[in-house]
Amino acid sequence: MNPVEVLFVDDDADVRDANAQALDLQGVSVRACASALEALDLLTDTFPGVLVTDVRMAEMDGLTLFRHVRRLDPEIPVILITGHGDIEMAVGAMREGAYDFLSKPYAPERLLAAIRHGAAQRRLVLENRRLRAQAEREGDAAESMLIGNAPAIVRIRELLRHVADADVDVLVHGETGSGKEVVAQVLHRLSRRRDAPFVAINCGALPESVIESELFGHEAGAFTGAQKRRVGRIEHADGGTLFLDEIESMSPAMQVRLLRVLETRQVAPLGTNEQRAVDLRVVAATKADLGDPALRARFREDLYYRLNVVTVNIPPLRERREDIPLLFAHFAGLAARRFGCPAPQVDPALWRHLMRHDWPGNVRELAHFADRCALGVQQVPAADPAAPAGDAGSLPERVERYEAELIREALAAHGGDIRGTLAALGLPRKTLYDKLRRYGIDRQAYARPGAADEARAAPADEPGA
């Protein structure tokens, strides 16, 4: 278990001992310091708890200590203990960033509440930093473009590694904004073709009058206005990867020609009968389920089966909510660097919105949302609905979705720590493990650095394991 940690600073030994004992009885881990200098020797920017300090002390007073801590890490919560005559000064310190102040004499319950609220804020801060650091560490590797720890994303990464160097065409299916082109890019970068071109073309964005020339190229004089030879996208991708997005919108005539290319690995530009050999992999993407004959009315069955050697199904973001914090941290960090501004912090209101919004635009919508948060122009609702937007189904189904969300939120708040999560949810250990299995939640996805060993050992404690 990770109890709330407090550094309690007071030069009065009786006050230190009394407060340390009272907090210890409430499950708070207290390190008592007799001076501000002693406390500064113990503090780092990774300190996971709350600093509580008296204002009036010899050598260095609490206000000076607070300002030193601000320079070390401005997001360490500092609670000031003040006498009656120091209240105005404490209010000024709160304007500078102090978390709270208590005027003597104070009730122990008041101090305990302030500490617990400050500790919860500190956990969010450190979790934000962990997620950003993880996103940055993964930023250079090809596979890390597919960010996420959801089982479906892990399986996709494994599949792409497995087929990367096999000369097979791939069909990628997913909703708009789910990351189909990212999958194609990862496959290209993992393959032996990584140093050759990655050529992307959106079949739905090109008018019918130009798509044939774009794909197959043309010779000079092949049609009115063709003043010089043009190499088509297929030939340009020779040695590399051709990505065809929205392939379901391709006309039947173009489907026939594409099928011929896939079967022969040859292309004939407009205006010539010459067949030119091409060595390429085709990755086709569709938002329609081409495996359903009813939805494949305009799509050639033989082309579908030719492309459907390997199929990658990308789950929508609403089906892998455990990845939302990591994705948001990644996009927010990119936006902060791009715009030259601080990365936005995930406070409880923003957290609730991230986890409860239905994200119909999937990862693309989340990326744009992170951009707006970084720019400070995104207004987050103060109170979100108790369930994700657009929820449907029976009452038991909706209750299960809400329960799974609460479990994910508790795991995130406690850095994946099982004991802390159990305490927050008020559940028996076996019940929590049963629910983790039922909802497919991987608690290790929420683990903070240093907690990995405990997370791996935790299942051994499960009753009946």
Which residue, among 8, 1, 221, 223, has the nearest Cα to 118 in the 3D structure?
8
Question: d(Cα 144, Cα 332) in Å, to the nearest integer?
Answer: 16
pLDDT at position 59 is 85
Higher pLDDT: 140 or 190? It is 190
What's the whole-number average pLDDT of the chain?
A: 84
Note whether 5-136 and 151-314 share their fold: yes
Q: Which two tokens stand for residue 407?
A: 């479990």
Give how far the C-alpha of residue 246 lies from the chain's centroid of Cα atoms, to the nearest Å: 26
**Beta strand 78-82 with 50-54: parallel, antiparallel or unpaired?**
parallel
pLDDT at position 281 is 94
Residue 459 — very low, low, confident or very high, per pLDDT cuts 50/70/90? very low
Residue 321 — very low, low, confident or very high, per pLDDT cuts 50/70/90? confident
Query: What CATH code would you report for 151-314?
Result: 3.40.50.300
5-136: CATH superfamily: Response regulator (3.40.50.2300)
pLDDT at position 209 is 72
Tell me the DSSP string of 368-436.
HHHHHHHHT-PPPPSS--SS-TT--S-HHHHHHHHHHHHHHHHHHHTTT-HHHHHHHHT--HHHHHHHH
Whether residue 428 is preceded by a cis peptide bond, meaning omega within 30 degrees of 0, is: no
Residue 447 — very low, low, confident or very high, per pLDDT cuts 50/70/90? low
Residue 309 · residue 168 · CB < 8 Å: yes
Mean pLDDT, residues 11-35 taken together = 91
Domain spans in the chain, listed from the N-terminal domain onward: 5-136, 151-314, 319-461
**Is residue 278 scored above 80 in pLDDT?**
yes
Higher pLDDT: 282 or 86? It is 282
Mean pLDDT, residues 188-207 taken together = 89
* Residue range 155-182, pLDDT digits in tens: 999 999 999 989 899 999 999 999 999 9
pTM of the model: 0.59
Other Cβ atoms less than 10 A from the Cβ of 102: the count is 16
Is residue 115 classed exposed, middle or buried when 0-12, 13-18 and 19+ CB atoms within 10 A define those classes?
buried
Higher pLDDT: 185 or 437? It is 185
Mean pLDDT, residues 387-410 taken together = 68
